[in-house]
Amino acid sequence: MANGSVRINGNALQLGDGAQIRFIRTLRLPESGTHGLPPGLGEFPLRRVEDHPDTVPAEWLAKGGVMLPVHLREAMWLSFAGTREPAALQVGVGKVCAVSGERWTGRLARRPQNYVVLPRQPWLDGINSGKGTVRQFVAVPLGLGATVEGQVTGEETTGGVQLQAFPLGPEPLRRWREQERARLTPPPMPAAFAGYGGAPAPAAPGSAPMAPRAAAPARSAPAMGLGVGGSMRQEVYEDTRPPSDWSEEPAARVFVHLVTPPEWRRITGEPAPPSPVDRAAYTRAGLPWFDYYDESGTDLPATDTLSAVKPVGDWIGDDHTPWVAPTASQTHPLGNAPRPGKPVQDGDW
C-alpha cells in the first residue's frame, strides 16, 4: 500500500505532491461512429468514505478511499488539470488497466505501457481502444457482464475506479524543477515597476461541512463499475522518459467507489446531481464540442484486450436518444491544432 497522502481539495483528488484528478460529467456519445470530444458539464462531487462509517457498506470502509454519485449509463472523463509535477498515473477500472488492458499490478510497465504521463496527458475520457481513439467511460451496475472488468476477466468483483501515482525519482525531479524555474522565471522588472502586482489568489475551498442528520443504517449498496460507450478521437501518449526516471514506489493510491443517486442520498444525506442534459438538446442549442490535437505526442497503440471490449448497449439495450451531429462551427480545436484565421482585407498602398 502506498504511504503517501491523498486529499480532497474541493472536488479534486490530490495524490501525493503532484497529481491532481477531477471526475467530470459529460454527454454520452452514440455507440456507433467516432466523434469529437464531448463537453464538460461540471464536476462529480467527492466525499471520503471514512466520513460516513455508519451508512457505507463495511467492505467500503475496508477499502477506504472516496465515493461519487453517478447515474446508470452516465458518462464521465478524468481531468488532470492542476497537476503540479510529473507523475505516472495508473487508472484501473475494476482493477483492469484502462491503458493496457492488463490486470492491475500496482507496478509500472512499458510493454505494454500501463499508465498515463501527467501533465503530458491532459485528460482521459475512456479506455485506449484503437489508433488515436478511446471508448468513453460509462457507468453500469456489476452483475451484467457489461463492465470492462467483466469482459476482460470474466468476473465482476471489484467495480469502481482505482488510481495510483508514481513521482519522478529524486534526481530526475531535481532536473525537472530546475528546468521549470528557468522556464517560468520572468525577466528582471524595471525599477520603476518594482513591487507592482496583485495579492496571491486564495486557496481553493474544501468541501462544505455536512449538516447534522440522523444516520441511516449501513447496508450493502448496489455495486457500480465502468463499461464503455461511444468512440472518440483522443490519443493516449507514449512515455518518452527512461523507465528509470520514475520512482519504484507509488506516492499515493486511492479507490473511488461509484454510488447510485438513491444510495448517495441515503449515505450522505445530500441529493445527487440531476441526470445529465440531453445531448441532442445541447447540440441544437449551439453549445461547443471539442477536438484536441498535439503534433509533438506519439499515440500508444491499443492492445487486443481493450480493442475487443464491447459497448454497454449490448447488455442494457440500444441508446435511442437521437444523435444530432454538431456543426463545423460548434467544434472548437484545442492544443496546437491548425485554426483557420479570419481573412485580412487589403487596401490602397
Predicted model pTM: 0.77
pLDDT of 81-124, one tens digit each? 989 999 999 999 999 999 999 999 889 999 999 999 999 999 99
- Rg of the Cα trace of the chain? 22
Report the distance separating Cα 172 and Cα 177, nearest Å. 9
CB 53 within 8 A of CB 61: yes
> Given the C-alpha cell 481502444, which residue does it identify?
129
Contact 67, 23 (CB under 8 A): no
Residue 242 has pLDDT above 80, yes or no: yes
pLDDT tens by residue, 34-84: 988 888 889 999 999 999 999 999 999 999 999 999 999 899 999 999 899
CB 291 within 8 A of CB 133: no
pLDDT tens digits, one per residue of 249-285: 999 999 999 999 999 999 999 999 988 766 565 565 5
- Looking at residue 256, its amino acid is V
315 CB burial (10 A radius; 0-12, 13-18, 19+):
middle
With bands split at pLDDT 50, 70 and 90, how would you rate the model's confidence at 28? confident
As to burial, measured by CB atoms within 10 angstroms (0-12 exposed, 13-18 middle, 19+ buried), residue 264 is buried
Q: Give CA 64 to chain center in angstroms.
A: 20
Q: What would the pLDDT profile of 136-158 be if each residue is shown by its tens digit?
A: 999 999 998 999 999 999 999 99
